[in-house]
Amino acid sequence: MKERIEELKRSFTEKLPSLTDKESLEAVRIAYLGKKGYIAELMKGLRDVSDKKTAGQLINDLKNEIEGALGARDEELASAAIEAQIRSAKKYNPTLIPERELGSYHPITLATREVEAVFERMGFTIENYAEIVGDYECFEALNIPKHHPARDMQDTYYLDNGQLLKTHTSAAQNSIMKKYGAPLRAIFPGRCFRNESTDACHENTFFQMEGMMIDENISISNLIYFMKTMLSEVFNRDVKVRLRPGFFPFVEPGFELDINCEICGGDGCPSCKNSGWLELCPCGMIHPAVLREGGIDTEKYTGFAFGLGLTRLAMMKYGVKDIRDFNSGSLKSLSQFKSI
Ligand code: FA5
pLDDT (tens digit, 9 = 90+) per residue, 251-302? 999 999 999 999 999 999 999 999 999 999 999 999 999 999 999 999 999 9
> Distance from the CA of 207 to the center of ligand 1, in angstroms?
9
Residues 6+ positions from 8 with CB-CB distance below 8 Å:
32, 38, 42, 62
The DSSP element (H or E) to which 285 belongs, if any, is: strand 283-286
Average pLDDT over residues 103-122: 93
Between 217 and 51, residue with greater pLDDT: 217
What digits encode the pLDDT tens for the residues 135-184? Answer: 999 999 999 998 888 788 889 999 999 999 999 999 999 999 999 999 99
Would you state the pLDDT for residue 251? 98
Per the document, the length of the chain is 340
DSSP characters for 190-217? Answer: EEEE-----BTTB-SEEEEEEEEEEETT
Residue 102 to residues 12, 176, 224, 232, 327, Cα–Cα distance (Å): 58, 37, 40, 32, 19
Would you state the pLDDT for residue 335? 79
Q: Mean pLDDT lowest for which of 76-80, 101-105, 227-231, 297-301? A: 101-105
> Distance from the CA of 307 to the center of ligand 1, in angstroms?
6
Would you state the pLDDT for residue 100? 66
pLDDT band for position 310 (cuts 50, 70, 90): very high
Amino acid at 110: L
CATH code given to domain 107-339: 3.30.930.10
Do the strands 184-193 and 205-215 form a parallel or antiparallel pair, or are they unpaired? antiparallel
Q: Mean pLDDT lowest for which of 12-21, 197-206, 325-334? A: 325-334
Residues whose beta carbon lies within 6 Å of some atom of ligand 1? 168, 170, 194, 196, 202-203, 206, 208, 210, 248, 251, 254, 279-280, 282-284, 305-307, 309, 311-312, 323
> Distance from the CA of 256 to the center of ligand 1, in angstroms?
9
Give the C-alpha separation, 298 to 249, whole Å. Answer: 17
Residue 214 to residues 116, 180, 228, Cα–Cα distance (Å): 18, 11, 18
pLDDT band for position 85 (cuts 50, 70, 90): confident
3-state secondary structure of 257: strand
Nearest CA to ligand 1 atom 9: 306
Q: Which of 252, 279, 291 to mutate to test the pocket of ligand 1 (most atoms within 8 A of CB)?
A: 279
Residues 6+ positions from 126 with CB-CB distance below 8 Å:
116, 119, 120, 186, 187, 188, 189
| Atom number in ligand 1 closest to CA 255 | 10
CB 129 within 8 A of CB 188: yes
Q: Which of 139, 144, 151, 208 to mutate to test the pocket of ligand 1 (most atoms within 8 A of CB)?
A: 208
> Distance from the CA of 245 to the center of ligand 1, in angstroms?
14
| Atom number in ligand 1 closest to CA 313 | 23
DSSP 29: H
**pLDDT surpasses 70 at 340:** no
Nearest CA to ligand 1 atom 27: 202
Q: What are phi and psi of 255, to 5 degrees?
A: -135, 155
Between 2 and 323, residue with greater pLDDT: 323
| Atom number in ligand 1 closest to CA 312 | 23
What is the pTM (predicted TM-score) of this model?
Answer: 0.73
Would you state the pLDDT for residue 154? 84
- The number of angstroms, rounded, from the C-alpha of 219 to the middle of its chain's C-alpha atoms is 41
Q: Which of 310, 307, 240 is nearest to 277 (CA)?
A: 240
What digits encode the pLDDT tens for the residues 149-163? Answer: 878 888 999 999 999
The alpha helices in 194-309, defined as continuous H runs, are: 220-235, 288-293
CB 304 within 8 A of CB 282: no
Would you state the pLDDT for residue 90? 67
Would you state the pLDDT for residue 97? 66
Would you state the pLDDT for residue 282? 97
